[in-house]
Structure 1
C-alpha cells in the first residue's frame, strides 16, 4: 500500500502529466489481480539429500541477491515459464555425480499441474552431452513460439522435433548453439560482444546491447539483427553449428536524433529525437522497439518506444521515479514495468516537474544509478494502459495486496525487490515476474537498514511470482509476420567499423533555450580538457515556462568527472524555484551536493544535500548506502 506521502507526490506529479489529445481515453478503473508464488526446486545449503528431493531432480541454492536466478517468458501454451536457476548442494552417494548442478534452464508449471515425474519443474539443459553444446550465459531466457527452442543468454537451446515440455525432449535430443556477431571484415575471430538479447515477436529477429568506450567513458549502443542458422561455418569462431546475426543495424540515426540541436547561439530541445540508450525489448506485435531514452524532463528516466519503420517515438512512462524493465502486452494495449514509483527514491532529484533536461547532458549516469543500493532494487511491478501516465492516473500496482510490513514475506513486502524482466502470457491474462530479498551489505552491519530473514524453506532469497488478471478474457492473436531486416532510421553495421558513429553533443559555449510559453534559460557548456565529452553544464532560468502554468527561476550547475571508466563523481549546485499552479523548490546546501556512483555497483555515496519541496511536501535524498 502506498504511503500518504507517496500519494501526495502522485497528486503533485499529476499537475505535469496531461492528456494532449481528445483521442486519449479516460484512465481505466483498477481491476482485480491475484498474485501467487510459482514453485521452485527445494533449497540445499549443503547436500541435496533424498529427504529434500526424493525424486533426485536436484536442489537450488539460496540465491542471495538473485545471483544465478532469473524468470523469463512464457512458453506459447501459456502454462509454463522458462527460468534460469542455479543448482547447488553435492548429491548423496551412491550418485556422486549429478546432472543437476550449476547454472541451468528450467521450465516451471504455472497452472498447478505436474510433469510426468511428479515435479512442477523440468530442467532443459541438465545433462546435455558436451558434444551437443554447452552454454556459459543464461540470462534473459525467452521461448520461441514453436515451443521447441529457447533464447538463453547468448545461446539457443533447441530440442529438434520435440516440444520442450515433452518427455521426448531428453538431454540427448537437446542441442545448444552459440550466437555470433561478426565484427571483422574477413569474418575471423570470436565475434563481437553481445549482451541482454531480446527476441522479436516474429521469432526471426532479435535486439541486443553492446558496451563501447567512447570519449573515455562507457557508452552503450543497441542493435537489431536477423537470426540465421549456420550448420557448417567456414570462418570465425567457433567452427561448429551456430546462429549468426546477419544484417545488423545499429539503432542510431545520424539524422536529427540529437536531444539538443544547436542553432547559432540557441539550443532547441528535440522531443522527437530517437535516443536509444539501453534496449529493453519490443512491443507485443513487434512494430516498436522499447528502450531507455534521453530524458524528457530533467533527471526523470523513462522508457520509450520507437516505430521500427517510421521512427515515431512514444513515451511509455512519465512518472518522476525511475523505470527500467518493461514488457508490452501481446495486443499492444498494456505495459507492465518495474518502477520505483511510490517509493520516493528519486523524488529528491526529479520531483519538480517541467525542468528541461539540460543538465542531463552530464547528469544521466547519476540520475539512473541512484535507483539501487548495491544489489537492492526498489522496483515494484506496475500495470499501465497504452496511453500512459496522465492526470492522476499512474497505473495500478500489481502486488498491492498484503500488510506492506517489511520482513513479513507478504506479496507487497517492500524488502522483496523487483527484478528484470516482467513478462506477459501469450493470451494477455497473466504476468510473470521475480523478486529477491534484501541482504547484506544493503542491510545490516554498517548499513542502518535492518536485514530480515527469509520465511521460505532453506532460507531462499528469490521468489518467482504469477499475477493473474482475473477479469480478463484470454485473447487468441494471429502470429506476428516477419518484419523487414531494414530499420530505415538506423545505421547499418559494417564489420570492422569503429564503435562510435557520431553521437554529437552541443559544443562548448553559451546558449539560450527559450521556453515554449515564456522566458528563457541561459546555458553554459564546458568540455573536458582533451575530450569531446561534456564536463559541466550551468543553467540560469528566467521566468522559464513550457506550459504557461508553471514558471521556473533560479540556477543549476552540474560538473562531472570520471576517475575511472566506471566511476562517476558529481558536483551539483541547485537553487530553482517554481511558481504558478505548483510552488516548489529544488535546492542544494550552499556547499553543494557531491555524489559518487560506480555504474556497475550502484552504491550511493554523497556529501551535502539536495532537497526538493513541492507544495510543502519535502523530499530528501537517501542516506549513504541505503
Structure 2
C-alpha cells in the first residue's frame, strides 16, 4: 500500500494508503426513471504539508519545508473533511511530526491538527497552499478539549468547524483568513449530560446534530443514534469540564422499541419489515436536511446497505441494494445524488452476500461478523461511486468515480489506494470527493422538528432500551409471493446463539425462488470478538440461478469487529449465473 499519501479533488477526493468509499426494496422498476447518463469526471490532486522520513528530531528539515510550517508523518492519520462555505477550501485533520528542538514557530506543528487546503490552485499569504488552523493555540484556549480525531466538518459561517467531539471556533474571523491567528482560535469540547458521544454529524441547519453512543448488551457491543440541538454555554455549573463548552440539548433517541422492528414475531410466524425505521450507524443527513442517513438492518441476508429516513415522518428510503458493503456516504445539496464508499466492484463480500433474495434471518446473530469482513485490518476495500436519487435498480449500480487511469501503482484507480471515509460535496454541488456538475443555486434547508416524532426524547439517567428480538422457538416465515421457511431460533432465553432455516419454494419477489437450508451458530468470545460456525446449502431458480454452499465440514469464521482481521477455515462458495465467489484467505 506504500507510504505515500494523497489529497485530491475531482474538480475533491481524499486518497492515500488506506485513506479512502433507493427506494423500497420492493419498488417496481417500471415506475422508476431510467438510469442517468455517465458524468464527466476530472480528478486533481491537492497538496499537503511535506512528509518527514522519520519522526526523529530534525527530520523536518529546511530542505523539506523552507517555510518552517511543519511536516507530517509517514503515517499521517489523515482524516478528510468538508468544504468550507466558499467551495475553495477543504478541511482535514493530520498528524504533524513536530520538532521540539526547533525554534518557534516550527515547534507548534506537532500532533493532530486541523488544516485547510486550497482547492483552486492558489496559496495562502506565506506561499503554502495549506494553513494549519489549530497549530499554536494557547493551552487556555482549549481547556477540556480532546484530540482532533474523526472527520472535520465546517459550519456555514466559515468561522467554526467540528472535529471529533470538539468545535474549533475563531470568533468573528473566518478560519482561512489572515485574521484567524492561533490566539483567536478556541477549541471547545462538546458535552452531553447523558454520556460520551461519537460519530457526530452537523445538520444542514447548523444548530442541530446527529451522533452515536455505544452500549453493551447481552455480552456484545451495540450502538444507538441520537438527534439534538447544540448551544454554547460560556459558564457551565454542572458536569465536566466546567469550562466554556458546546452542549447538546433536546435530545431524541432515534430508536423506539415499541415501533415495528426489522424482524418480528406474530404468533408462531416471523415477519420481516423492510420499511422499519431501524437506524444503525449514523452517517449524516441529506443535503436539504430532510432525511437522516444511516447503515441499517439488512433487508437481504448479509447485505449491508445505506438508508435514509425522513426526520418528520420516519419514512424509510433504501439508498443502496448492491450486495457489496456500503458505509460512508454524502448526499448532494439538492438531494438528487449521493456519493458512496462501497466495496462494489472489488468482489470483497460477494462470497457472503452475493446470493440475492435471502431473508435477513441469520442476520439476527451474524450482522457484526458479516460487516467486519469488509476490511483487512487497516486496509480498506472502499471505492467511490456516484448514484442518483433513485439508487440501485436493474443493472444500474452507479458510476465509479475513480474509474479513469491504467490501474498501475500510483494511478487514480490503483486498487491498493482504497478510499476511507468520508466523501463530501461542495456547497454548490460542483465538487465532491471526486465529481463535478452544473453549479447549483444555494439550497434551502428543510425545517426539522426539535424532537423527532418517531424517536424517543432522552433525559440524563434514562435507562437504555433493549432492542427487541424474537425469543427462542420454531417459527414460520411466509414468502411475500409464495412458499415459506421453517425458522428455528435456539438460545438461553435472553440471547439467540443459533439460527437454522429451511426454505420451501420461498419467493419474496415472484421472480426468483429460494430452496434449501442454512444454519449459523455464534459463540461470543468477547465484547467485540465472535466465532461463527456456518452451514449453508441454498440455491435459487428463476430469473437468476445462484447458490450458496459450504463444504461438508462447514465454514468457520473468527473475527474481532474492532480489528477486522479474521481467521477462517472450511469452504463457502457462492455462484451467481456461473460466476464463482470464494472468501479471501484469512481476510487478505
Deviates more, 1:555-564 or 1:490-499: 490-499
Deviations 1:424-457 (CA, angstroms, capped at 9, x unpaired): 001111112xxxxxxxxxxxxxxxxxxxxxxxxx
Cα displacement (A) at 1:94: 4.5
For the pair 1:62 / 2:74, whether they are aligned, the reply is yes
Partner SS state of residue 351, structure 2: helix
Kept in 2, the 8 Å contact 1:19–1:391? The answer is no
Cα displacement (A) at 1:255: 2.8
**Are residues 226 and 359 of structure 1, via their aligned partners in 2, closer, same or farther at CA, if it must alter by over 3 Å?**
same
Q: Which runs of 5+ in 1 are unaligned?
A: 1-15, 184-191, 433-466
**Are residues 269 and 93 of structure 1, via their aligned partners in 2, closer, same or farther at CA, if it must alter by over 3 Å?**
closer
CA distance, structure 2, for counterparts of residue 113 and residue 96 of structure 1: 23
Q: TM-score, normalised by structure 1?
A: 0.87
State the partner residue of 1:522: 486
Cα displacement (A) at 1:48: 1.0
State the partner residue of 2:146: 136
Partner SS state of residue 324, structure 2: coil
- Written as runs of structure 1 = structure 2, the 5 A alignment for 1:178-193 is 178-183=189-194, 192-193=195-196
Deviations 1:533-590 (CA, angstroms, capped at 9, x unpaired): 2111100000111122211110000110111111111010000011111221110001
State the partner residue of 2:51: 43
Partner SS state of residue 592, structure 1: strand
For the pair 1:586 / 2:553, whether they are aligned, the reply is no
Cα displacement (A) at 1:96: 8.9
CA distance, structure 1, for counterparts of residue 90 and residue 417 of structure 2: 21
Partner SS state of residue 466, structure 2: coil
Kept in 2, the 8 Å contact 1:321–1:347? The answer is yes
Partner SS state of residue 362, structure 1: helix
For the pair 1:623 / 2:588, whether they are aligned, the reply is no
State the partner residue of 1:561: 523
Kept in 2, the 8 Å contact 1:373–1:625? The answer is yes
State the partner residue of 2:249: 246
Partner SS state of residue 227, structure 2: strand
Cα displacement (A) at 1:480: 2.1
State the partner residue of 1:423: 424
Pairing partner for 2:164 from 153, 165, 169:
153
CA distance, structure 2, for counterparts of residue 256 and residue 249 of structure 1: 15
- Written as runs of structure 1 = structure 2, the 5 A alignment for 1:40-439 is 40-46=48-54, 47-63=59-75, 68-90=77-99, 93-95=102-104, 98-133=107-142, 135-138=145-148, 139-183=150-194, 192-405=195-408, 408-432=409-433
Cα displacement (A) at 1:107: 0.3
Kept in 2, the 8 Å contact 1:514–1:521? The answer is yes
Kept in 2, the 8 Å contact 1:45–1:88? The answer is no
Cα displacement (A) at 1:140: 1.6
Kept in 2, the 8 Å contact 1:372–1:602? The answer is yes
Kept in 2, the 8 Å contact 1:577–1:584? The answer is yes
For the pair 1:544 / 2:506, whether they are aligned, the reply is yes
State the partner residue of 2:451: 486
State the superposition RMSD in angstroms.
1.5
Kept in 1, the 8 Å contact 2:284–2:293? The answer is yes
CA distance, structure 2, for counterparts of residue 212 and residue 41 of structure 1: 38
Cα displacement (A) at 1:482: 4.7
Deviations 1:222-246 (CA, angstroms, capped at 9, x unpaired): 1111001111111111111101100
State the partner residue of 1:610: 572
For the pair 1:505 / 2:469, whether they are aligned, the reply is yes
CA distance, structure 1, for counterparts of residue 382 and residue 155 of structure 2: 27
Partner SS state of residue 48, structure 1: coil
Kept in 2, the 8 Å contact 1:17–1:391? The answer is no
Kept in 1, the 8 Å contact 2:373–2:587? The answer is no
Kept in 2, the 8 Å contact 1:57–1:100? The answer is yes
Deviations 1:189-238 (CA, angstroms, capped at 9, x unpaired): xxx11111111110000111111001111111111110011111111111
CA distance, structure 2, for counterparts of residue 93 and residue 381 of structure 1: 40
Kept in 2, the 8 Å contact 1:44–1:89? The answer is no
Cα displacement (A) at 1:18: 7.9
Kept in 2, the 8 Å contact 1:232–1:240? The answer is yes
Cα displacement (A) at 1:363: 1.1
CA distance, structure 2, for counterparts of residue 479 and residue 125 of structure 1: 31
**Are residues 17 and 197 of structure 1, via their aligned partners in 2, closer, same or farther at CA, if it must alter by over 3 Å?**
closer
CA distance, structure 1, for counterparts of residue 241 and residue 134 of structure 2: 20
Partner SS state of residue 568, structure 1: strand
For the pair 1:26 / 2:26, whether they are aligned, the reply is no
Cα displacement (A) at 1:93: 4.3
Kept in 2, the 8 Å contact 1:17–1:390? The answer is no
Cα displacement (A) at 1:91: 6.1
Kept in 1, the 8 Å contact 2:160–2:175? The answer is yes
Kept in 2, the 8 Å contact 1:181–1:194? The answer is yes
Deviations 1:264-312 (CA, angstroms, capped at 9, x unpaired): 1111111111111100100100011100100011100000000011000
Deviates more, 1:544-553 or 1:413-422: 544-553
CA distance, structure 2, for counterparts of residue 553 and residue 576 of structure 1: 6
Cα displacement (A) at 1:36: 1.5
Q: Which runs of 5+ in 2 are unaligned?
A: 1-23
- Written as runs of structure 1 = structure 2, the 5 A alignment for 1:458-473 is 467-469=434-436, 472-473=437-438
Partner SS state of residue 417, structure 1: coil
Kept in 1, the 8 Å contact 2:25–2:274? The answer is no
Partner SS state of residue 304, structure 1: strand
Deviates more, 1:17-26 or 1:540-549: 17-26
CA distance, structure 1, for counterparts of residue 562 and residue 69 of structure 2: 35
